[in-house]
């Protein structure tokens, strides 16, 4: 993910509201980014303050009614001014002034904190539901792509470089393609980069980093829009970091190739 995307997830990390994949990406980024590290510390302090302001349990259904009854019982009314004497100026009745008690002010503060916490809970719930819908849509898309015969199959580039049985399959349907990697190390010291070969020259296509492997042990799936049509071949290398789109050759060893 880009820096801007990571920055948007930092507040949710402070609330422990990220998926395992998102949390890993954010924590890895924060270790090397001073700006996001400072932002996370600020949000953690804010989250800790919220925890101290409100009780950890959700308010009951009758909370509002009890609060309103307490307001009616504890509101203090200042005495009205004496009636003006005959012939004196200002024959108008004084305004009644309601003075909230200290206990009522504490109740207001607690209610405000509860509203903040409930708002955060609603945000987290909505985000998790949206994430589940996104994952279901992704799974359906992958199942549709891999339902046919693979257009290309990648095998180990050299004996002993990858575990026995490690493969890469490329499924193409229209403009989309799914690259499915099997049998590689789930926690590589770097990232797996998929390359498309055209006119004998490699071009970076997509990266299969560690978060992809966390979804399913021993398998990573990457879906790309275009870039595979007309390719002479495909390859997978182990890179120290995601290469720029302008890279003209792998920096790390080639593990799989067609």
Q: Where in the chain is the domain with CATH 2.60.40?
A: 152-257
State the pLDDT at residue 236.
93
State the pLDDT at residue 100.
57
Sheet of strand 152-156, all strands in order from the earlier edge strand to the far edge? 201-208, 191-198, 233-239, 254-257, 152-156, 167-173, 176-182, 219-225
| pLDDT higher than 90, residue 10 | no
Tens digits of residue pLDDT in 149-187: 888 999 999 888 888 888 999 988 888 888 888 888 877
| pLDDT higher than 50, residue 219 | yes
Q: For the whole model, what pTM was predicted? A: 0.49
Tens digits of residue pLDDT in 223-245: 888 878 888 899 999 999 889 98
| pLDDT higher than 90, residue 250 | yes
| pLDDT higher than 70, residue 208 | yes
State the pLDDT at residue 95.
47
> What is the enclosing helix (H) or strand (E) of 92?
none
Using an 8 Å Cβ cutoff, are 29 and 6 in contact?
A: yes
What is the pLDDT confidence band of residue 254, given thresholds at 50, 70 and 90? very high
Average pLDDT, the chain: 76
DSSP states of 136-165: HHHHHHHHHHTTS--SEEEEESSTTSS-TT
Cα gap 69→97, rounded to integer Å? 19
DSSP character for 226? Answer: S
Share of the chain above pLDDT 90, in %: 14
| pLDDT higher than 80, residue 117 | no
| pLDDT higher than 50, residue 80 | yes
Considering only residues 41 and 126, tell me which one the structure prediction assigns the higher pLDDT.
41
The residues near 120 (Cβ < 8 Å, ≥ 6 apart) are: 15, 50
Q: At the top level of CATH, which class does the domain 152-257 belong to?
A: mainly beta
Using an 8 Å Cβ cutoff, are 177 and 227 in contact?
A: yes
Tens digits of residue pLDDT in 11-59: 888 777 788 788 888 888 888 888 888 888 877 776 665 555 555 556 6
What is the pLDDT confidence band of residue 79, given thresholds at 50, 70 and 90? low
Cα gap 195→209, rounded to integer Å? 14
Considering only residues 256 and 185, tell me which one the structure prediction assigns the higher pLDDT.
256
State the pLDDT at residue 252.
92
State the pLDDT at residue 237.
93
């Amino acid at each position: 993910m880009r820096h801007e995307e990571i920055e948007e997830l930092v507040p949710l990390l402070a609330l422990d509201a990220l998926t395992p994949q998102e949390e890993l990406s954010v924590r890895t980024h924060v270790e090397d980014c001073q700006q996001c590290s400072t932002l996370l510390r600020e949000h953690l302090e804010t989250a800790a303050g919220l925890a101290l302001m409100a009780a950890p349990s959700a308010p009951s259904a009758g909370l509002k009614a009890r609060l309103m009854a307490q307001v009616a019982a504890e509101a203090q009314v200042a005495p009205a001014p004496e009636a003006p004497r005959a012939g004196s100026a200002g024959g108008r009745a004084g305004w009644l002034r309601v003075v909230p008690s200290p206990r009522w002010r504490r109740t207001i503060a607690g209610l405000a904190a509860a509203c903040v916490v409930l708002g955060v809970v609603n945000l987290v719930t909505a985000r998790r539901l949206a994430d589940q819908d996104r994952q279901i849509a992704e799974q359906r898309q992958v199942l549709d792509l891999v339902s046919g015969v693979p257009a290309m199959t990648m095998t180990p580039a050299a004996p002993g470089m990858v575990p026995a049985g490690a493969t890469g399959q490329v499924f193409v349907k229209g403009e989309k393609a799914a690259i499915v990697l099997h049998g590689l190390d789930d926690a590589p010291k770097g990232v797996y980069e998929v390359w498309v070969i055209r006119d004998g020259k490699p071009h970076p296509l997509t990266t299969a980093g560690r978060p992809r492997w966390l979804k399913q042990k021993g398998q990573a799936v990457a879906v790309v829009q275009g870039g595979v049509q007309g390719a002479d071949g495909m390859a997978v290398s182990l890179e120290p970091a995601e290469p720029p789109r302008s890279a003209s050759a792998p920096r790390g060893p080639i593990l799989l190739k067609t």
